[in-house]
Amino acid sequence: MTTHPISDRSGLGPMLCMQGQGVVKGYAIGRAAIMSAAALEVVHYRIAPEDVEAECGRLKKALATASDELQVMVGALPDDAPRELGPLLTVHSLLLDDPMLLQQTCDLIIERHYNAEWALTTQGQILAEQFSVMEDEYLRERGADIRQVIEKVLRVLSGSTALLPSLDAGDSNDPLIVVARDISPADMLRLRGARFAAFLTDLGGPTSHTAIVARSMNVPAVVGLGHIRMLVRDGDMLVADGFTGAVLVNPSPKVLREYRQRQAAYADERAELALLRDAPAVTLDGIQIRLEANIELPEEAVAALQAGADGIGLFRSEFLFMGRRDLPTEDEQYEAYASVVKTMAGRPVTIRTLDLGADKTLDGDITVATNPALGLRAIRYCLANPEIFATQLRALLRASLHGHIRILIPMISHMHEVHATRQAIDSACRELDASGMPYARDISLGAMVEIPAMAIAIEPFVETLDFLSIGTNDLIQYTLAIDRGDSEVADLYDPMHPAVLRLIAHTINAGERAGKPVAVCGEIAGDSRVTRMLLGLGLTEFSMHPQQLLDVKKEVRQAHSNALRVKVASALNRAERIDLAALSN
Ligand code: PEP
Ligand code: MG
């Protein structure tokens, strides 16, 4: 986080510019409402030895009350509450019920004679430090859960209930922007009754609860601002930029005007795009294009549907396996897949089998591969761990009873991997038959094209499989020998390299000849700047993050597909870089 004071202007506090991480896009302009933070207002005193027992009792009661309150919230979740909230609240209530938290905090009361609030904040700091040194980013961020439940108990101990000040709006109709150290799921639930323009927090990252819940509420959010809660006063004028993560405190009238214009322009742009939701994705020369969504968690299927997606083109199932110590059971997976299929109401749902390895590992997995990107990952990992694979396949087959599931295999390079996968599916079917479990028998099987060898020798794959989906993120990495996560060589990671485009074109042409559908589900499918280029390669199926879908649809509807094909083919024949500007009408 960086903080820059800009100037001192009479009547207003100094203008400050703070930098955090924008986690939900959008602009917000409004007045600060500072959220109470009991942890910052804790009183410290020592208690008399004879009061130790009563103090432990006070702590125990407060923990129980806080946990009960959370349970009540879970039981009374309104229908329109973000779907993430229930599980998050349950995790918090489980943390409060953990006997270790009570025991270790009571030890501090007994041994050091701290009052309950002091003991609890001390224990919280010990736990937060333990989490902060964890290697796994997800687990590091879970330290926030500890801080949030402790904050809740401290509020119970202090008897205070108000989260936000009752601001005197005066003549101002400005919306409120919540400024907090951190926002717990329970706080989010209490706040959601009112409409806030943005959420700004000192703590948190892209997978923090504030980010997850704000995203599902579609409210701009900037997290990781460092000390905004201390630097801003109630009623201060704020501008939050959810794109860049910039927050301006008490901006000058000129800056404010500039941001009001940006806000209005963005709102117009979104409103215009929203009109396209139900419009067909057809090019000017009548080519029908399928636009599907990439999701990582089952809940995101709702956003896909709202964006008008024709289906799910890529469900990265490994996210069900990450950030936990155990493996999801067959039933858990079945529920997750079935919920997506039901949400998508008959539209196809492409579920990729476990793509672990490289940058995506199981928690607690300390195996260090010689070169993780080239090692035992994705389908190689699944075929080497037949029990894990079989569990997932049974769950997929069972869930396909509820709709249209397509199984997608990642990182295929050899035909024998396709045969081994088919055998694994057949054996999962036999296991389900033996246990009398119903499932759909006619499931289609496809593969990601993300290893150059497969794209070059595509013919047997396209004949054998039902569909293909080109994973350009990895295809580019392996074609150009550029680690997709290495910032040192990021400038060489070039989706427009003629070699990459030739591999894509070759795959699409092979699909066309065999009458098999070919999609692109890597990041370039959602980049509206390259939509015309992909149409020029003959692509008719795109899968992307739901938020990008309408931008791409707009491009599709303004493009002339056949003219683009001629232009792109002639550039590719000469192995030339394609000039994107030359592809516009
Ligand atoms: C890809 O490689 O393009 C892809 C879509 O998969 P992931 O980004 O999950 O590797
Ligand atoms: Mg990939």
On the question of pLDDT at 248 being above 70, the answer is yes
Domain with CATH 3.20.20.60 in the chain: 275-583
Distance CA 394, CA 330 (A): 7
| Average pLDDT value for residue range 114-122 | 92
Please calculate the CA angle 233-239-241 and round it to the nearest 5 degrees.
130
- The pLDDT of residue 151 is 84
pLDDT-wise least confident of 22-31, 157-166, 279-288: 157-166
| Alpha-carbon separation of residue 32 from 2, 19, 243, 263 (angstroms) | 19, 16, 19, 18
Give every CB contact of residue 206 below 8 A, 6+ residues apart in sequence.
21, 23, 223
In angstroms, how far is CA 41 from the centroid of its own chain?
A: 33
**Ligand 1 neighbourhood includes 474 CB (under 6 angstroms):** yes
- Average of per-residue pLDDT across 312-330: 88
* Whether the predicted pLDDT of 169 surpasses 60: no
For residues 123 and 389, the model is more confident at: 389
Cα dihedral 95, 97, 98, 100, rounded to 10, equals 120
pLDDT the model gives residue 368:
60
pLDDT range class, residue 509, cuts 50, 70, 90: very high
Q: What is the mean pLDDT of the chain?
A: 88
What DSSP designation does 573 have?
H
**pLDDT winner (highest mean) among 65-79, 193-207, 334-348:** 334-348
Ligand 1: atom nearest CA of 473 is 3
Ligand that comes closest to the CA of residue 476: 1
331-367 per-residue burial string, b: 16 or more CB within 10 A, e: under 16 = eebbebbbbbbebbeebbbbbbbbbbbbebbbeeeee
- 124 within ligand 1 shell (Cβ under 6 A): no
Which amino acid does the sequence have at 54?
A
**Fold of the domain spanning 49-158:** Enzyme I; Chain A, domain 2 (1.10.274)
Residues of the chain with CATH 1.10.274.10: 49-158
Burial class (CB in 10 A: 0-12, 13-18, 19+), 182: buried
Cβ of 469 less than 6 Å from ligand 1: no
* Active-site hit among 92, 209, 402, 404: 209
Q: How far is CA 303 from the centre of its chain?
A: 12
With 70 as the cut, is the pLDDT of residue 525 above it?
yes
Predicted confidence at residue 536, as pLDDT, reads 97
Asked about 521 being catalytic, the answer comes back as yes
| Contact residues for 132 (Cβ-Cβ < 8 A; gap 6+) | 140, 143
**Annotation: binding site for phosphoenolpyruvate:** 316, 352, 473-474, 484
Q: What is the C-alpha to C-alpha distance for residues 432 and 426, in angstroms, rounded to an integer?
A: 10
For ligand 1, atom 7, the nearest C-alpha belongs to 473
Q: State the distance from the centre of ligand 2 to the C-alpha of 45, rounded, in angstroms.
A: 56
- Mutate which of 316, 352, 469 for ligand 1 pocket (most atoms within 8 A of beta carbon): 316
In ligand 1, the atom with minimum distance to the C-alpha of 318 is: 9
pLDDT surpasses 50 at 171: no
Residue bearing the CA closest to ligand 1, atom 8: 473
Q: How confident is the model at residue 206 (pLDDT cuts 50, 70, 90)?
A: low
Residue range 126-142, pLDDT digits in tens: 888 888 777 766 667 67
Tell me what the mean pLDDT of segment 365-376 comes to.
76
Q: Which CATH superfamily is domain 275-583 in?
A: Phosphoenolpyruvate-binding domains (3.20.20.60)
Q: Could you tell me if 295 and 340 are in contact, meaning their C-beta atoms sit under 8 angstroms apart?
A: yes
574: left (phi over 0), alpha (psi -120 to 50) or beta: alpha
Question: Looking at residue 152, what is its pLDDT?
Answer: 86
Give the torsion through C-alpha atoms of 310, 313, 317, 320, to 10 deg. Answer: -30
Residue burial 155-181, b: 16+ Cβ < 10 Å; e: rest: bbbeeeeebbeeeeeeeeebebbbbbb
Looking at residue 6, its pLDDT comes to: 44
Q: Where in the chain is the domain with CATH 3.50.30.10?
A: 16-37+163-272
Catalytic annotation present for 402:
no
Categorize the per-residue pLDDT at 358 as very low, low, confident or very high, splitting at 50, 70 and 90.
low
pLDDT of residue 7: 43
Q: Indicate if the pLDDT at residue 84 is higher than 70.
A: no
Residues 346 and 327: beta-carbon distance below 8 Å: no
Homologous superfamily in CATH for domain 16-37+163-272: Phosphohistidine domain (3.50.30.10)
Q: Is 313 in the pocket of ligand 1 (CB under 6 A)?
A: no
